[in-house]
Structure 1
Amino acid sequence: MFKKLSRTAVSAAALTAAAAAMISPTTASAASAPLDSARIATHFDLAKGQTPENIALAPGGNAYVTFAAARQIAELTRSGATRILATLPAPSDGGVHTPVLGFALTTGIVRAHDGTLYVLYATGTSDLTGLWRLRPGGQPQRIAALPATGLPNGLALDARTRTLYITDSVLGAIWSVPTSGGTPTAWSTAPELASTGFLGANGLKIHNGAVWATNLDKGTVLRIPVLRGGRAGQVQTRATGLPGIDDFAFTGHGNRILATLNGTSQVALVQPDGTHSTVLTAADGLQNPTSIALRGNTAYILSAAYLTAKDPNLALAHLNR
C-alpha cells in the first residue's frame, strides 16, 4: 500500500510548490507562543501505511485515528499503544481510480457520545466510497454512499441535530447526512469550496451556529451560517493566505483557531480577524501535519509524512490560553 502512496508524491508536489511560492504566516515570538513544550508522543509505521489522517478524542484519554494508506481505524491508548479496530475492504481495482490521489484512503473521523465512530472512505468506486459507521465491538458498515468521482475528506458531527457534515475536496461541496445514514444532501456547493486543481474544501468543524471549513488550494478559512431549517447561509471568508491548510481546532468558545499547514509542516494560530502566525514547525517534529484536536490545554497534532516520507507521528503540545 505504501508503494501506492509513494506514487502520489508527483501529484502532491503541486501542494509543496504552491506553499513555497506563497508567504508563510509570521512566526510568533517564543515569549508569546500559544503552543509550547512540543514533543513526539507516538511514532507510526510508514511501511505499514500508518499515515494518520484525522483524529477524534474520547473521554478517559484515548484517541481514535484513521490511517489513510492502510484503510484502517485505530485506537491510541493513554499508555501509547496502538490498537487496530478495523480495516476497511479494499476496492477491487486497488483504488487506482480514487480521484487525484490514486489510492484508497480513510479520511475524516468523529466519535459520538455512545462511542460510535463515523469514518469517511474514498476509493474511486461506487460500492465503497462514502460514510462508514463502527459501533463499539462491531464491524464497519457503510451507511451512506457518496459519489465515487469525489473525495470525502473532512467530517463533523452536530450532535444536537444528529447530522454529519462532510467536505468533498474534489467536487467542492459539503454534504449532510443523518447519523442514521441514508441519501446525502448537497448542503453547500458554494464556489469558495472548489479546488484550483488539487484539493479544495478540506477541514470541517461545527462551531457557534455555523459550519466552518478550510480550502487547501485557496488557503482560506470559511464560515457558513446554519439557517433556520438547517439550510446553508452565505459563505464568509474569515482568513486567507494559509497555503496548504488542512484541519483545524478552535481554542475555546471564541473564533480563534489552530490550523495545520500540510505542505510547509507548520501549525498556525489564526485570530478572529484573520491575522495569523506560525506556532509550530518541522523543528518541533511536524511531518506534513494533517489533523489537530484539543483536550483541555493539550494539543494533539497528527503528521502523515505524505511528502517527507520519514516519520508519521502524533505530537503533543501545551496550549497557553
Structure 2
Amino acid sequence: MTTGPTTTRALPRPVARGPRLSRLATAVAAATALTLLAAGPASAGDPTVTDPRVVAHFDFAQGHTPENIALEPDGSANITWAFARKVVRVDRQGGVTELAELPEVANPQTPNIGAAVVLGIARALDGTLYVTYATGREETGIWRIPAGGGTPEQIGFFPAGAMPNGLAFDEECGTLYTADSALGRVWSLPVTGGSPTAWATGPALEATDALPFGANGLKVHDGAVWVSNTARGTLLRIPVKPDGSAGPIETRASGLDFIDDFAFTRHGDTVLAALIESNRLELVRPDGTHKTVLTEADGLDNPTSVAVGGKTVYVNSAAFFNTVDPDPNLLLATLKRK
C-alpha cells in the first residue's frame, strides 16, 4: 500500500491484453445487445462538445483501466484504475501522480468479474476522497483516502455479494450514495461509516438475464439521486424526500445501450452519458431524447465515466473490450452553450 503520492508521466499506448480483464469482457460481449431507440431531433438549445483531445494514455497490461473520475478545483482529475486497484491524479497536461493503492485481496470473488476492482470515486470539499472497492470478500465497501493521498481506510462494510460501483457524496446531509451493479440497488451510508442501508430498490435498478450489470453510475443532482442502469439502457431519477428516504423511481431516458457513468452539463437536467460498448458519448436532453456528440473517431475506447468542470468535459476510456489495440485514456473536450 502506498503511504503518499508518487509522480510519473503518462505512459505510451499499450498493445498487450491482461488476462484478468477477460472475465469482464466476456460477460459483456456475451450479453444480448440492448435495442437502440431512435435519438430525438436536434435542439437549438443543446450545448455542444468540441475540440476533443486525448491528454493521457495509460498502460492496459498493468491494469491501468480508468473507471471513474472526480475533479479537483485546479482542473486535475482523480481517477480510479479499476484492475490496478489504484487511485491516481492526472493533471490537464497528462502528468500522473499516484495517490493510493487499495490492499490486495486473496482469492477475490467479485460478482461477474472475479478480480478485485476499484470503481466509483467522490471528493469532499476538504479534498478527502472516497472510493468503492468490490472484492467478493470482507473488503467490499467504501474506502476513505486522505486529501493529497495516503493509506486508504475502509469505512463502509458491504455484503460480500455486493458490487458497489458509482459513488456520490451529499455533503449537506453527510451521506454517501452508491449504486450496486450486482444486487441492483442504491445504498446509503453516513460519511462517518458503518454498515450501509438499502436506500432504493426495485426492478428498475436490477440487471437482466441478458446482462448481469444493473445500477451503475450515480450522481446527486437538484434534490434527487440519479442512476444509470447498464443492462436496461436507462437513466433514472430518484427524488430524495424531506425525511431523507427515497421517492418513486422515475425513468428519465431509455435506449442508452450499455450506459456506464454520466455527468450533468450544468444546463438544467441535460446529461452527458458514456456508452461503453458502442464507444459513444451521448448528450441526453431533459425530455429523454438524445444524440451522439463523441465517438471512437474522437479517441473513445470503451468510455466508462464523464465529468464536467467549468467548460471542460473529461471522459475516461478503459478499453475493456478492445482485443486488438487497447488504448485506455483520458480525453478532454470543450463544452459550449449554443
Of 123, 126, 129, the residue aligned with 1:114 is: 126
Report if aligned partners of 1:2, 1:46 keep a CA contact under 8 Å in 2: yes
What is the SS of the residue equivalent to 2:334?
A: strand
Q: Any residues of structure 2 matched to 1:223-302 within 5 Å, and which?
A: 223-302=237-316
Q: Does 1:131 align with 2:142?
A: yes
Q: Which residue of 2 aligns with 1:5?
A: 21
Q: Does 1:315 align with 2:331?
A: yes
Q: Distance in 2 between matches of 1:33 and 1:280?
A: 13
Q: 1:287 is aligned with what amino acid?
A: D
Q: 1:252 is aligned with what amino acid?
A: R
Q: Does 1:103 align with 2:115?
A: yes
Q: Distance in 2 between matches of 1:46 and 1:98?
A: 20
Q: Which residue of 2 aligns with 1:79?
A: 93
Structure 1 residues 92, 177: closer, same or farther in 2, change over 3 A? same
| Shift in Å, 1:14 | 3.1
Structure 1 residues 33, 284: closer, same or farther in 2, change over 3 A? farther
Q: Distance in 1 between matches of 2:302 and 2:83?
A: 15
| Shift in Å, 1:24 | 6.7
Report if aligned partners of 2:24, 2:113 keep a CA contact under 8 Å in 1: yes
Q: Does 1:193 align with 2:205?
A: yes
Q: Which has the higher helix share?
A: 1
Q: Distance in 1 between matches of 2:222 and 2:120?
A: 21
Q: Which residue of 2 aligns with 1:18?
A: 33
Q: Distance in 1 between matches of 2:248 and 2:59?
A: 42
Report if aligned partners of 2:141, 2:156 keep a CA contact under 8 Å in 1: yes
Tell me the alpha carbon deviations over residues 41-73 of structure 1, each in whole angstroms, 9 at most, x when there is no partner.
110111111000000001112210000010111
Q: Which residue of 1 aligns with 2:102?
A: 88
Q: Distance in 2 between matches of 1:23 and 1:45?
A: 35
Identical positions, percent = 52
Q: Does 1:172 align with 2:184?
A: yes
Q: Which residue of 1 aligns with 2:234?
A: 220
Q: 1:193 is aligned with what amino acid?
A: L
TM-score, normalised by the number of residues in structure 2: 0.89
What is the SS of the residue equivalent to 2:27?
A: helix
Q: Which residue of 2 aligns with 1:147?
A: 159
Structure 1 residues 308, 24: closer, same or farther in 2, change over 3 A? farther
| Shift in Å, 1:22 | 3.2
Q: Distance in 1 between matches of 2:41 and 2:329?
A: 23
Q: Distance in 1 between matches of 2:114 and 2:306?
A: 25
| Shift in Å, 1:8 | 2.9
Structure 1 residues 166, 273: closer, same or farther in 2, change over 3 A? same
Matched residue count: 316
Q: Distance in 2 between matches of 1:283 and 1:306?
A: 17
Q: Distance in 2 between matches of 1:277 and 1:102?
A: 34
TM-score, normalised by the number of residues in structure 1: 0.94
Tell me the alpha carbon deviations over residues 200-219 of structure 1, each in whole angstroms, 9 at most, x when there is no partner.
10110111100000100000
Q: 1:181 is aligned with what amino acid?
A: G
Unaligned runs of 5+ in 1: none
Report if aligned partners of 2:262, 2:273 keep a CA contact under 8 Å in 1: yes
What is the SS of the residue equivalent to 1:148?
A: coil
Q: Which residue of 1 aligns with 2:195?
A: 183
What is the SS of the residue equivalent to 2:50?
A: strand
Tell me the alpha carbon deviations over residues 10-64 of structure 1, each in whole angstroms, 9 at most, x when there is no partner.
112135x515x535747969xx771111111110111111000000001112210
What is the SS of the residue equivalent to 2:20?
A: helix
Unaligned runs of 5+ in 2: 1-16
Q: Distance in 2 between matches of 1:294 and 1:22?
A: 26
> What is the root-mean-square deviation of aligned Cα atoms in Å?
2.0
Report if aligned partners of 1:27, 1:279 keep a CA contact under 8 Å in 2: no
Report if aligned partners of 2:41, 2:289 keep a CA contact under 8 Å in 1: no
| Shift in Å, 1:307 | 0.4
Deviates more, 1:70-79 or 1:201-210: 70-79
Could you list the structure 1 runs, at least 4 aligned residues long, displaced by more than 6 angstroms after superposition.
26-29
Tell me the alpha carbon deviations over residues 111-142 of structure 1, each in whole angstroms, 9 at most, x when there is no partner.
1011100000001112x110000012431000
Of 52, 68, 73, the residue aligned with 1:38 is: 52
